[in-house]
Chain A
Amino acid sequence: MKLKIQLPDFLRMGILPIVLIALMTIAFVVAMVRYAFGIGAISDLSYSFPWGFWISFDLFTGVVISSGGFLMAGSVYILGIKEFKPLLRPSILTAFLGYIMVAIALLVDLGQPLRIWYMMIHWNHTSVLLEIGICVMSYLTVLAIEFAPVVFEGLKWEKTAHFIHKFIMPFVILGVVLSTLHQSSLGSLLLIQPTKLHPLWWTPILPILFFVSAISVGLSMIILESSLSSHYFQRGLETHLLEKLAKAIPFALGVYATFKFGDIIIAGEFDALFSSGVMSLLFWAEILISIIAPIVWFSNIKNRTSPNGLLIGAVITLLGLIFNRFNVSWFAVQHPDPMFYVPTFMSNVDYLPTIPEVAVSIGIFSAGILAFGLLAKYFPVFDDEAHAVHAGD
């Protein structure tokens, strides 16, 4: 007898979702071990290095790659640049999922994850982390509201979708304000470490640097996700729109570079640019990938107009600025160890993220990609038809 197996439609999927689900499962198991036996059981975090890979990747990277949401919402609704509308929904979805991923990752990283809501009632107004916590919570709400019309349209609840859409403006403004605060406050988070963060990175204008660089990251992220989803869903690529975003990146990075170097020169740390050994090397590597390479790449019109050129440029920019976040929150940070204090930078080489630690982050990231794929498949995220419904406002 022949066995006939016919998979139902919803179970038929490519290799990618299966890989993603496997990665998520690994992360889930690791997280369970962490909840049972403590953070030390799965990570290399220590007294002398309390924040590591999770903070650099999940929090710093997770937040900055979500900045496309407020950029597009601000451009379309506040500045009235309606032509960017096809890019609006995917970038809001990216931001929404990005922030959910940040929140989930924090539930693993926090010592008392069940008390995360304490931030809503116990306020210490001098704490930058409080600002970040409140911004994450409020902005998640705002993003849920901004994304709700897509869900309702998908469910064919046109009236509800239209109703939310009518009152979207205050939420868009609130979202942009919260994002500005939040992107910059991740920089402020490190202001309290003037003696731990290397002077090439520590500056009172860290919040400004973080906000300005987040703009380039957001633009690159929109290009990246449009490119990838056009490939994966076999839909057209809005190259003419993406070209405009790509054109803005060199300007945004130019402003960023001006602030960064202006500050170093004004602070009189010019010598440190070349005399800090490994730190100088890290700094220049960062500058090369995060500023020089993207500016050169995107200044060439050929790269801005070809799908591959756009994708490569976006990836370079993202890698460079994520490298910056890693430098600021990890590589250039040196904590004193009360038992063995070596007053030189890079004495933290004893911290190396463990495989389970990285697995948690990868699993959460996979969940984000899977959620993006599913939502984009079943809801009108890329559906240009649906946009026409609310095109009038």
Chain B
Amino acid sequence: MALKHNAYLFDATRCIDCRACMISCSVENNIEMDKTRIWVAGIGIKGEYPDLQRGTMVYHCMHCLHPDCMSACPVGAYTQAEDGPVTYNPDLCIGCRYCMNACPFGVPHFDYEKGLAEGAFIDKCTFCPQRIYNGQKPACVGTCPTDALEYGERDELIKRAYERIAAHPDKYIDHVYGEFENGGTSYLILSHIPFTELGLPQLPETPVNEVSEKVMEMTIPFALGWGAVLSGVAAGVAMRNKKKQAAAEKDIVPIGEAEASK
């Protein structure tokens, strides 16, 4: 039986902007508060009285099904576990920051203030493997007081999300962000305000790495073919020159002059 694919579900209507998830992430992973792997952005109050809406968005790594960071990393510092988590290995990282360019969500962060001695690395959400493989929920989910963040099997969470939309069609936008975006993500989002206003990019259903991976597949065959063509041309030209030279010798023109006249 295939491993179940784990995911998060974030319900923006339930978030009360308490930021406990940031604190638990910071504590669990032992990182400074201003560099947590989870960010909470207050979108502010929208609309006109009395139809006011306030929105909060909790971001962390989307743990894409086809991760672009993993596709981009030249040394393979990223790996994807079968059950979902996309993790980063600092022992391989060369600090090129191509993953930051590749990620359409702007997730990977870099230690800009660290020199050679300390070592500057990428940091991103790991899905708390130390917790989920010991039967616990990820730190941010475990601490969420309103169940705005939930953790579970991806298919089951998608089902749950649609059930919630069906129960309150007036409240939710009829879309589960992350179900298909960028080829599917393991961070699913439900919202009452448009997703772009939450700061989420509009993405196609194909992962952004699709074209570049196709081009990379063609590279080796192209290189071999191009090399063969060039070798052929070079051999052809050399042969023609030899013939010319032989003909020139027949006409009793010294080689040096034949060369010079060219």
| Structural contact, A50 and B97, CB atoms closer than 8 A | yes
Q: How far is the CA of A45 from the CA of B113 in the complex (A)?
A: 11
| Structural contact, B234 and A78, CB atoms closer than 8 A | yes
Known: A35-B115, A78-B230, A112-B119. A195 touches B94 (CB 8 A): no
Q: How far is the CA of A338 from the CA of B231 in the complex (A)?
A: 51
| Structural contact, A111 and B101, CB atoms closer than 8 A | no
Which stretch (B24-32, B66-74, B164-172) binds chain A? Answer: B66-74
Write out the residue numbers on chain A whose beta carbons fall within 8 Å of the beta carbon of B134: none
Known: A119-B94, A343-B201. A192 touches B71 (CB 8 A): yes
B-facing residues in A97-115 (Cβ within 8 Å) = 109-115
Say which residue of B120, B200, B222 sits within 8 Å of A111 (CB atoms): B120
- Is A47 interfacial (CB-CB < 8 Å)? yes
- Is A80 interfacial (CB-CB < 8 Å)? yes
A-facing residues in B172-211 (Cβ within 8 Å) = 196, 199-204, 208-209, 211
Write out the residue numbers on chain A whose beta carbons fall within 8 Å of the beta carbon of B222: 181
| Structural contact, A192 and B68, CB atoms closer than 8 A | yes
- Is A300 interfacial (CB-CB < 8 Å)? no
Write out the residue numbers on chain B whose beta carbons fall within 8 Å of the beta carbon of A195: 104, 201-203, 208
Write out the residue numbers on chain A whose beta carbons fall within 8 Å of the beta carbon of B213: 126
Q: Write out, one digit per residue, whether chain B residues 24-54 have a CB within 8 A of any chain A CB (1) or not (0).
A: 0000000000000001010000000000000
Instruction: Kindly provide the distance from the CB of A26 to the nearest chain B CB, expressed in whole angstroms.
Output: 19
- Is B109 interfacial (CB-CB < 8 Å)? yes
Q: Write out, one digit per residue, whether chain B residues 217-243 have a CB within 8 A of any chain A CB (1) or not (0).
A: 001001100110011011001101100
Count A interface residues, CB 8 Å.
Answer: 72
Which stretch (A3-11, A88-96, A128-136, A319-327) binds chain B? Answer: A128-136
Known: A38-B111, A115-B94, A335-B106. A50 touches B212 (CB 8 A): no
- Is A340 interfacial (CB-CB < 8 Å)? yes
Instruction: Kindly provide the distance from the CB of B162 to the nearest chain A CB, expressed in whole angstroms.
Output: 26
- Is A180 interfacial (CB-CB < 8 Å)? yes
Q: How far is the CA of A133 from the CA of B222 in the complex (A)?
A: 18
Tell me which of A41, A194, A343, A392 has the highest count of chain B C-beta atoms within 10 A of its own C-beta.
A194
Say which residue of A41, A79, A192 sits within 8 Å of B102 (CB atoms): A192
Q: How far is the CA of A101 from the CA of B99 in the complex (A)?
A: 24
| Structural contact, B74 and A127, CB atoms closer than 8 A | yes
Instruction: Kindly provide the distance from the CB of B164 to the nearest chain A CB, expressed in whole angstroms.
Output: 25
- Is B107 interfacial (CB-CB < 8 Å)? yes
Q: How far is the CA of A283 from the CA of B68 in the complex (A)?
A: 28
Write out the residue numbers on chain A whose beta carbons fall within 8 Å of the beta carbon of B112: 38-40, 43, 45-46
| Structural contact, B75 and A338, CB atoms closer than 8 A | no
Size bin of chain B's contact surface: 35 or more
- Is A176 interfacial (CB-CB < 8 Å)? yes
Q: How far is the CA of A63 from the CA of B234 in the complex (A)?
A: 25
Write out the residue numbers on chain A whose beta carbons fall within 8 Å of the beta carbon of B119: 111-112
Write out the residue numbers on chain B whose beta carbons fall within 8 Å of the beta carbon of A48: 106
Q: How far is the CA of A305 from the CA of B212 in the complex (A)?
A: 43
| Structural contact, A116 and B76, CB atoms closer than 8 A | no
Known: A47-B106, A128-B212, A177-B230. A338 touches B95 (CB 8 A): no
Instruction: Kindly provide the distance from the CB of A387 to the nearest chain B CB, expressed in whole angstroms.
Output: 11
Q: How far is the CA of A77 from the CA of B212 in the complex (A)?
A: 33
| Structural contact, A50 and B215, CB atoms closer than 8 A | no
- Is B121 interfacial (CB-CB < 8 Å)? yes
Say which residue of A115, A174, A196 sits within 8 Å of B227 (CB atoms): A174
| Structural contact, A338 and B238, CB atoms closer than 8 A | no
Instruction: Kindly provide the distance from the CB of B10 to the nearest chain A CB, expressed in whole angstroms.
Output: 13
| Structural contact, A181 and B94, CB atoms closer than 8 A | no
- Is B251 interfacial (CB-CB < 8 Å)? no
Instruction: Kindly provide the distance from the CB of B157 to the nearest chain A CB, expressed in whole angstroms.
Output: 22
Tell me which of A41, A48, A341 has the highest count of chain B C-beta atoms within 10 A of its own C-beta.
A341
Known: A38-B114, A177-B230. A128 touches B215 (CB 8 A): yes
- Is A167 interfacial (CB-CB < 8 Å)? no
* Nearest residue, chain A, Cβ from B90: A112
| Structural contact, A336 and B74, CB atoms closer than 8 A | no
Write out the residue numbers on chain B whose beta carbons fall within 8 Å of the beta carbon of A111: 93-97, 110-111, 119-122
Q: Can you list 22 contacts pairing A with B, beta carbon distance less than 8 Å?
A: A35-B115, A37-B113, A41-B115, A111-B94, A111-B110, A112-B95, A114-B116, A118-B75, A119-B74, A122-B76, A122-B92, A126-B70, A127-B76, A129-B73, A195-B203, A196-B101, A335-B101, A336-B105, A338-B41, A338-B107, A340-B41, A340-B199
Nearest 8 interchain pairs by C-beta? A111-B95, A40-B112, A341-B199, A124-B76, A130-B74, A191-B212, A111-B120, A50-B100
| Beyond A110-B95, A335-B106, 19 additional pairs, beta carbon < 8 A | A35-B116, A38-B112, A51-B97, A78-B234, A80-B237, A83-B262, A111-B96, A112-B95, A118-B92, A124-B75, A127-B74, A128-B72, A128-B215, A129-B74, A131-B219, A173-B227, A189-B98, A194-B204, A391-B259
